[in-house]
Every structure is written in structure tokens, then in C-alpha cells.
Amino acid sequence: MSEGKNILLCVSGGIAVYKAAALTSKLVQAGCAVKVIMTESACEFVTPLTFQALSRNEVYTDTFDEKEPSSIAHIDVADWADLIVIAPATANIIGKLANGIADDMLLTTLLATTAPVWIAPAMNVHMYDHPAVKKNISTLYNNGYRFIEPGEGYLACGYVGKGRLEEPEVIVQTIQSFFNQKQLLKGKKILITAGATKEKLDPVRYFTNRSSGKMGYALAEEANKMGAEVTLISGSDHLPKPFGVNLINISTAEEMFQETMKYFNHADIVIKSAAVADYRPKIISPEKMKKKSGNLVVEMERTKDILLEMGQRKDQQFLVGFAAETNNIEQYAREKLKKKNADMIIANDVTAQGAGFAGDTNIVTMFHKDNSVKELPLLTKHETAKQILTEIVLKLGDD
């Protein structure tokens, strides 16, 4: 499935450049069109001629070397790529990219592209473990970049540890897996809500719940991989933004209602996985409430029921809700399915081991309006997301 795909290989200056030459050859053998950008330092290890011969394409090394008057090279190649791989990625390149620096052809192109970018670090074990490098990697991950982890073993500097550029064969397999993903949702617009809302009591206190948003984020990321146009409305602000997703951060239940309704009419599939507050303080104090003797009574009022509202308004949308329960799972899920006019309710027992809040796994059961039921075993939240989305595709095909 990678055959015919355009891969832009960005090569920065480290001894592992020799592996990038082998990677170029293997990508070409796999049927990819490969173009290469090299930093000035990379050219000290292997000449551009090597990559030109292996890729059968011109190699880019200088932002100002414009051979085609009709186009700007770094914009042209940035638009050309289906996927960009930085291999090897030095600590220097990672640091500059994390801080938006564009002082050469490679970095300028990376800032100009909208294609997915994978980074394959290669450096000394202590450099890889340095707090500054870790911070830069975290920044890039949160910005949507993805990493091909380095391997462990003997390094060119003589140390033994983590920092070796991953083997070219493994990188090619990773690329092929990426392109092999079935585009089951291509052309579909999906609206997903995730995380917990926060309802203010005063300037320092609020009511919330334990939802982390991980399930909704996994759904958004996997839906994007399946080709969907995804909008994610989230009460969580601590998770990395899923690549290629339109992320809208909110805080309160009212804000989530307003943003959800903005996008609802244009969605083909709506998945409400957010844990929205059912109640909020009726009166919000403009100043911090001070301790007093005796008990405190806070009067609460109902928030809007977003799933119910969508169920009443839906036209062509396939509507999915979540039911996080502690008992009578099937009864409550079926009642919710009917009351909210949903097409599917995904229920889980949050007291079960591996299915609670904030974890990386889940155990869910899918209840459909046609009375069919499908149970999933303990899976990672990303695997659960894939199964849920595949089930939605099957149900859409039955309609």
C-alpha cells in the first residue's frame, strides 16, 4: 500500500546518516517516490550524490538554490510529500524544530508542510536522556509529531545504551503499516466530545469528575487514521493533540453544548464520550468563599442534556453515547439508548479492573438500537476505538 506514496526524507548530521542511505534504497524498492533534504552537517558524513543515485531524484541542501523559477523549492517539496521522515534526527534538529527555528532548507520545509511528520532520533545515550531533549520531544509530540523510538545497543561514541537510529527495515515496515490502514471513514465528518467539564463555584473552586478524555482522544486519532474529517471538542487540556484533528478546548457544560451544536448539523457521525456535568452551582461567587462555622449548602441546577438534545435534533447523523456505570449496566444502557434516541450506547463498568477512569485500557459493551449487542474484551483504548469505529462503519453499511 505504500507503493506510489511520496516520502520526503530529511537527513540531519550524525554518524547514522549511513543508515539513511540504506533507508532511501529500501523505500524506493518498496515502490515509494523518495526525495531527500540534507543539512550541511549531514553532507559531511555522506555526499548528496549518494542519495541522488539511490532516490533517483535531486537532493535539496540549500534554501537559496532555486533551480525552478516557476516554484519555490521548500514549499513545493513540502506540498509534494504524503509523509515526512526525519532520520536521523539529531538533538540539534529536534531542539530547533520544537522552537520554530527555520535556519536551513530542512527546517524551513518542515515548518511549511501539512503532511504527517515522523521523527527518528539518533544520538548519544546521555544526550537522549537530557532534560532539554526530553522537553523538546514532548513539545513536538504535543504538536502532533510522532516518533520512531531509537534502539538500544553499541553507539558510535563507544557507549552502550538507547540512542541508535532504528534499523531501516523497521522504519520501512512502520511506513507501510501507516499506509496500509483502511480508509473506512474517508469522506465522513465525525464530531467527538471528550474529557470532563468544570463548573465554577468561585474563582478558585469548581465541580468536575474523573474523566481523563483518553477514550475520546483515542477515537479522534483512530478516526483520523481511517480517513475521517474529525472535530474534537474537549474538556481536557493535558493530552497531546491528535494529529490532523480540529481540536476545540472548552471548560463548562454550557460551552460544550454551544460548540457541539455548532458542528452537529454538518456531522455524519457524532460520538459523545465526554463526561459532562449534570449539575452546576446555581450561584457562582465572584470572590473566593471563606470558611465559616457549620456546614455549607450549595444549590445546584441542571445543565443541558447534550445527548438528549442531539437525539431530538438528529437527521442523518449516526449518534453514539457513552454510559459509564457502576451497576445495572445493561438496564441503564438500554434505557439511555431509547430515551436519548441514540443509534449506539457504549457502556462500561468503571469499577471493573482495567475499565476505570484515566487508565490506558477499557472493557466496553456496544448496545444498538436494533437490539444487537457486542461485547469487547480488555483492550487498549486505541484498540477499543478501532473496534468501535469499525462497528459504526458496519452499522452504517446495514442502513
User: Per residue in 281-296, pLDDT tens?
Assistant: 999 999 999 999 999 9
Of 212, 303, 300, 216, the residue nearest 252 (C-alpha):
303
Q: Which three cell numbers stand for residue 98?
A: 520544537
Give the position of cell 505504500: 2
- Looking at residue 154, its pLDDT comes to 67
Q: Is 11 contained in some domain?
A: yes
Model pLDDT for residues 245-284, shown as the tens digit of each residue: 999 999 999 999 999 999 999 999 999 999 999 999 999 9
Angle between helices 105-112 and 91-98 (to 10 degrees): 40
How do the pLDDT tens digits run along the chain, 399 residues long? 567 899 999 999 999 999 999 999 999 999 999 999 999 999 999 999 999 999 999 999 998 888 777 778 889 999 999 999 999 999 999 999 999 999 999 999 999 999 999 999 999 888 999 999 999 998 998 788 889 988 877 666 776 677 789 999 999 998 888 887 768 899 999 999 999 999 999 999 999 999 999 999 999 999 998 999 999 999 998 888 888 899 999 999 999 999 999 999 999 999 999 999 999 999 999 999 999 999 999 999 999 999 999 999 999 999 999 999 999 999 999 999 999 999 999 999 988 888 878 788 999 999 999 999 999 989 999 999 999 999 999 999 866
Is 349 annotated as contributing to ligand binding?
no
Among the three residues 180, 202, 218, which one is the final residue of a domain in this structure? 180
Is 288 annotated as contributing to ligand binding?
yes
Residues 146 and 230 in one domain: no
Which residues, 6 or more positions from 383, have their beta carbon under 8 angstroms from its beta carbon? none
- Looking at residue 159, its pLDDT comes to 67
Q: What is the CATH number of the domain that holds 254?
A: 3.40.50.10300
Is 386 annotated as contributing to ligand binding?
no
- Looking at residue 1, its pLDDT comes to 55
Amino acid type, 247: L
DSSP states of 280-346: EESS--SSPPPP-SS-----EEEPP-HHHHHHHH-SS-EEEEEEEESS-HHHHHHHHHHHTT-SEEE
CA 312 to each of CA 327, 357, 365: distance values in angstroms, whole numbers, following the listed order: 27, 29, 24
Is 135 annotated as contributing to ligand binding?
no
CB count within 10 Å of CB 163 equals 25
- Looking at residue 2, its pLDDT comes to 66
- Looking at residue 84, its pLDDT comes to 97
Is residue 357 helix, strand or coil? coil
Q: Is 1 contained in some domain?
A: no
Residues 14 and 58 in one domain: yes
Which residues, 6 or more positions from 291, have their beta carbon under 8 angstroms from its beta carbon? none
Residues 273 and 372 in one domain: yes
Cα–Cα dist 331/124, whole Å: 57
| Domain assignment of residue 34, given as a range | 6-180
Q: Which three cell numbers stand for residue 90?
A: 539529531
pTM: 0.71
Handedness of CA 116, 26, 147, 13 (dihedral sign): negative
Among the three residues 146, 180, 214, which one is the final residue of a domain in this structure? 180
Among the three residues 180, 199, 221, which one is the final residue of a domain in this structure? 180
Cis upstream peptide for 88 (omega within 30°): yes
Of 151, 175, 146, the residue nearest 161 (C-alpha):
151
Q: Is 52 contained in some domain?
A: yes
Residues 258 and 143 in one domain: no
Active site residue 43: no
Is 322 annotated as contributing to ligand binding?
yes
Question: How open is the CA angle 24-40-88, to the nearest 5 degrees?
Answer: 40
Q: Is 158 contained in some domain?
A: yes
Residues 85 and 146 in one domain: yes
Please state the length of the chain.
399
- Looking at residue 143, its pLDDT comes to 83
Residues 391 and 307 in one domain: yes
